[in-house]
Every structure is written in C-alpha cells, then in structure tokens.
Structure 1
Amino acid sequence: MTDHPQRPPRRNAWMLWTGAGVVLALVAVLIIVAMTGAGSAGAASSGGDDYLRAGLNKPTADLLALDPMTDEGTVKAPTVDLTDENGAPLTLAQFRGKVAIVTVNDDRCTDECALFAQDIQAADKDLTAAERADIAFVSINANPYYPTPADELAWSTQHGLSSLSNWHYGTGTPAQLSKTWNAWGEPVELDAKTRTVQHGTDIFVVGPNGDEVDLAQFGDGSADTAPFGHGLAQLAVDALPSSERGHVAGSDLPAPLPGGTGVGDTPPAVTLPKLTGAGTVSTSSDRGKYTVLNFWASSCSACTTEMPDFEREYSELGGKVAFLGVDVSDATDAARTFAAKYGVSYPLVSDTKGATAGRFRVTGLPYTVILSPTGKVLIRHPGAFTHDELDFVLDDLDTSLPPTTS
C-alpha cells in the first residue's frame, strides 16, 4: 500500500483541543443503549439509505456521523509504519485479511479521546470471539510531545484498552507521526507552548483488502457509549466477508418516545423532597439553564470519586448551570453524612424508594442525565464522570460558560 496525494477531502472534519489545561469543544452525548431516545442532534446525517447497507438504523448512523465511501470509488488506505505501545513494529499491512478501525488519538487526552476509549471497549464487548480476532482497533498518536511507546501504554492502561488483544496504539518520531497524519489526511495542529494538540477525529473503516469502506467520526455522539460502541462494532463486522460475520450484540438507538426519558424526550420535571431541610426542589425552577441531574447513593463506591469532581465543576461554573443530586434508595442519615464529607453545596434531593430513578430507567449508580434549558434530555451517561469529561460536555453544550481549570 502506498500513500495517495489525491485523497478525497474529509467531510465534517472534527477538531479537538486536548492536554493539560485545555478543554474545548465538541458536543458529547452520553447514554446507555436501553434507555435512549434519538441520536444527537448535531451529528452529521448519513447519505441516502447507506446506513441500511451498514446494518444500522438511521439514528445510530447519525450518531456515528456515518459517511459511507460508496461514492468515492476505490480508496486504498495509506501506510502506517510506526511502533506500538509494546515497542513492536506496527504497520497496516499486518492487518491484511482483517478489518482495521483507524483513528488519530492524543495520548494526553482526558476528555474526548478518553470517552472514545469507552466506545472501543463497548464495541469490543459487542463482538463475538471470532469477530474480535478479525477486527483491529488501530490508533495513531496525535501528540508528538509525548511520543514514546511507554506514553501510549500508560494512556492505554489508564483508559482500559491495554487489556484488549486487538488494540494497537502506534507512535514514532515527530517526523514519522507528521508523515502519517498527512497520509491519512488528518489535520493536526501543535501548540509547543502548552504542549497541546488539535486533531481530526475521523474513524476510518479499512476492509480486509486494504480499501477504505466507511468513514465515521467520534465527534458529536461519540460519548453515547453503548449505542456508539454497538454502531462501531456493526460497521467493523459489516466490512468482513459475509461468511465471517456473526452476531453483533447491543442495540441501535431507538426513536424518541413521547413523554419518555430518552435522549430527545422532554420528561415531566423532577420534583423531590430536599435531602436536608424542609420543602422540595424541582427541575422546573431551572428552566432557562442546562441542568445536570446526578443519581447517586452513599453505598456507591464510584460516587466517592465522582462527587468531588461534580462539586468542583459546580463551584467553577458559578451557578450558570443547575446541578441536582438525587440520592437513590438510601438511608437519610447515611446520605447526609456522605454529602457532608465531600462538601457538596449544590441542591440534593431524596428519591427514597427509587421511583424517579426507575422513571429514568437508571440501572446503576452513578448515572448522569443532562437536560436542556427547555427540559429536554440531551445526555445520558452511565458510570462516573471525571471533572474534565463533565466540563468538556457542558462547555460544548453552552459556549457562553466561563473557562474552568483542569
């Protein structure tokens, strides 16, 4: 395979600032597959009915910003000649006969690339063992300031990818990396002063014969972990020969339901008694602001790491975003002690019997739902949010928010 200078221009090229102290801008939408509504509103729409060829419904295709290359003719994937996170040679040629999912990622990213790492894990989980052996997730380092295999291994381990047998993170000298970015047509801009990078977020699906089959993006809806991962797995399996395709677990995004609590739905306001003091708190009073609705409990171990990050984000935003913590099926004294321990200053309410959590179809804690200023569900995120991830999402939803620290 050789580099090709006449590479088709990339459509909807996403760019991303990452690194310490810089968290800028893409929409992130987070949900769990069985609880969702429509795909993210900002995602690019797939062309015609090509999403049907890819085995996806339209909301899922839109979530991935699917751009099938059916109108591009035959496009050979460029070469990759790098070193992987274990110090071994990494070339695209070694995946001939397999499907390669190729992306450019920053090995110092703590937000968008970190969220995409969760998608890869979800995609890998949705594959059968046989499919897993025939599909490789190949990443190219976007950060020449941290170019060693040890840097790639540390990031991969931190984000749960080093345990995947089909994960490969390539790096090299700055010159090698630049050559590779250019060959793939991925824009990368460098800021030597802050040692941060800005890079494209295309997802290239390369078939067994080395041709590019599909182009997607981990921009908009990339953080919709379960459905995005399912869609990624489906794209990869669809690129295999028909005789090698097996069952892909997971589900597509369903269409919105009137009055539901999925993405795109506008559920009734949450109104619950205060955890401390008399009276109730209702999300209806927060209309006009984005609202972070966080379900937690004192018995939840992951909540112990998440709650301080939420408090930090809340204090940094100075009330410009509404926060409401919902304590689920917890002993009141234990919940109050827990909240006091972490110095939570945003409103907390008690969902004593878990009825509200049930209405929002929360299956595990912590769980976060973000509502628009009109009360529409924009984001559903199972599991813990870090400060950087939450800040990234909120900053992209509301560009008028003040800058915060990372």
Structure 2
Amino acid sequence: MVRSTILVTLLLLCAACSGSPAVEIRPTATPLPQAEPLAAPDFSLLSLDGQTIRLSDFRGQWVLLTFWASWLDTTVYDMSDIQQFADAHADRLTTLGINVGEDADIARAFATVVGIRFPLLINPDDTLLANYLITSLPVTIMISPDGNIIYRQFGPLDPDFKSELAAFLN
C-alpha cells in the first residue's frame, strides 16, 4: 500500500511538472441535440471495493460518468472538481469514475491521495470504450434519468462545466 501511495504521489508530481499533455486533448463540451437522444449503453464493472456496479441500477437518476487515468496531466484537478460537484449535488446525482487501463491499487492510491469518495470502477473493456465513443482521455458524460447521454466533455474539464451540468439538474 505504501509503495502504491508513493507511486501515485510521484505520478502526480510528474504530471504537475509536465509542460506537455500526455494524451490528445480536445477540451470541448458537447451538449447533445435533444431531437435524437442517444441511449447510454449499459455496463457492469467492479468497483474498487469489489462490488459489481451496473449503470442500469441507476435508472431514474442523473448519472455523471468520468473516464480517467491517474497519469493524465489534468486528472488531479478534474477529479477534485468532480468530487466537489458530486458533493454539492449528492441528493440528485450519482457520480461514477471509470479508471481506464490501470491496476486497482494505483486507482485506489490515487483516490486516497486526491480525496475521491464517489465510486471508482476499474478495467472497462474495449467494447465499453467503443460504445461510449471514447478514443482519448479524459471524458466526462452526463446521463439523464431516462438513460440518455445529454452532455459530453472531451479532454480536461471546461471551467464552466459545473454551471453547465447544474443547469441540467435544476
């Protein structure tokens, strides 16, 4: 556990000191047109505490998904902002973080260091990433209570993301 914490701390330090992005970054928010709703594909993944989480378990609720990895330059800031948003809207919103391509110990250590309390899911397969049209990280997606994707943010979070997402919840 100590090794994982040290490793994550070093990764975070490297990411903070890096001047160049580690992945393709396309910081664009994409509110999806209401004319043709896009149904959010169901999935079943293990959480860091070993529970099986299914998206369909949250039908009837607002759901915020964030696909992330600890090695991304902006992950510390984005995940902290998402945690603040999740806390502020916990009565109306379920937030799930989906870690892509990392060991559970790395994701767990990152969550501990950064203070992430919403459920973190691990090891999605390529089919899930393809179903959500994920070709680079990070990606943040809002799903309406009727199960439709209504918002996507590709790349680091836009400074206005909190107000944009809060507008859906109100």
Shorter-chain TM-score: which interval?
0.7 to 0.9
Q: Of 157, 167, 170, which aligns to 1:396?
A: 167
1:340 matched residue in structure 2: 112
Could you give the per-residue CA deviations for residues 338-358 of structure 1, whole angstroms, max 9, x where no partner exists? 111111111110125444223
2:75 matched residue in structure 1: 303
Note if 1:317 corresponds to 2:95. no
- Closer/same/farther in 2, CA of residues 291 and 333 from structure 1, 3 Å limit: same
The 2-side partners of 1:357 and 1:348 are apart by 16
The list of structure 1 runs, each at least 4 consecutive aligned residues, that deviate by more than 4 angstroms after superposition, is none
1:2-401 alignment, distance < 5 Å: 30-31=29-30, 39-41=32-34, 264-274=37-47, 276-385=48-157, 389-399=160-170
Number of residue pairs the alignment of both structures matches? 143
Could you give the per-residue CA deviations for residues 262-316 of structure 1, whole angstroms, max 9, x where no partner exists? xx21133222111x22221112122222111100011112212100000111111
Could you give the per-residue CA deviations for residues 164-201 of structure 1, whole angstroms, max 9, x where no partner exists? xxxxxxxxxxxxxxxxxxxxxxxxxxxxxxxxxxxxxx
The 2-side partners of 1:380 and 1:315 are apart by 20
What SS does structure 1 have at the residue aligned with 2:160? helix
What SS does structure 2 have at the residue aligned with 1:358? helix
Is the CA contact 1:330–1:352 (under 8 Å) kept in the aligned structure 2? Answer: no
Amino acid at match of 2:34: A
The 2-side partners of 1:355 and 1:335 are apart by 21
Higher strand share: 2
The 2-side partners of 1:289 and 1:390 are apart by 19
Could you give the per-residue CA deviations for residues 32-63 of structure 1, whole angstroms, max 9, x where no partner exists? xxxx9xx5228xxxxxxxxxxxxxxxxxxxxx
The 2-side partners of 1:314 and 1:325 are apart by 11
Amino acid at match of 2:33: S
- Closer/same/farther in 2, CA of residues 283 and 337 from structure 1, 3 Å limit: same
Could you give the per-residue CA deviations for residues 207-259 of structure 1, whole angstroms, max 9, x where no partner exists? xxxxxxxxxxxxxxxxxxxxxxxxxxxxxxxxxxxxxxxxxxxxxxxxx5xxx
What SS does structure 1 have at the residue aligned with 2:99? strand
Could you give the per-residue CA deviations for residues 46-90 of structure 1, whole angstroms, max 9, x where no partner exists? xxxxxxxxxxxxxxxxxxxxxxxxxxxxxxxxxxxxxxxxxxxxx
Is the CA contact 1:311–1:344 (under 8 Å) kept in the aligned structure 2? Answer: yes
Amino acid at match of 1:397: F
Which TM-score applies when normalising by structure 2?
A: 0.75
Is the CA contact 2:96–2:118 (under 8 Å) kept in the aligned structure 1? Answer: yes
Is the CA contact 2:97–2:118 (under 8 Å) kept in the aligned structure 1? Answer: yes
What SS does structure 2 have at the residue aligned with 1:335? helix
Which TM-score applies when normalising by structure 1?
A: 0.33
Is the CA contact 1:273–1:349 (under 8 Å) kept in the aligned structure 2? Answer: yes
Give aligned-pair identity as a percent. Answer: 24
Q: Which runs of 5+ in 2 are unaligned?
A: 1-27
Is the CA contact 1:303–1:365 (under 8 Å) kept in the aligned structure 2? Answer: no
- Closer/same/farther in 2, CA of residues 269 and 353 from structure 1, 3 Å limit: closer
Is the CA contact 1:351–1:357 (under 8 Å) kept in the aligned structure 2? Answer: no
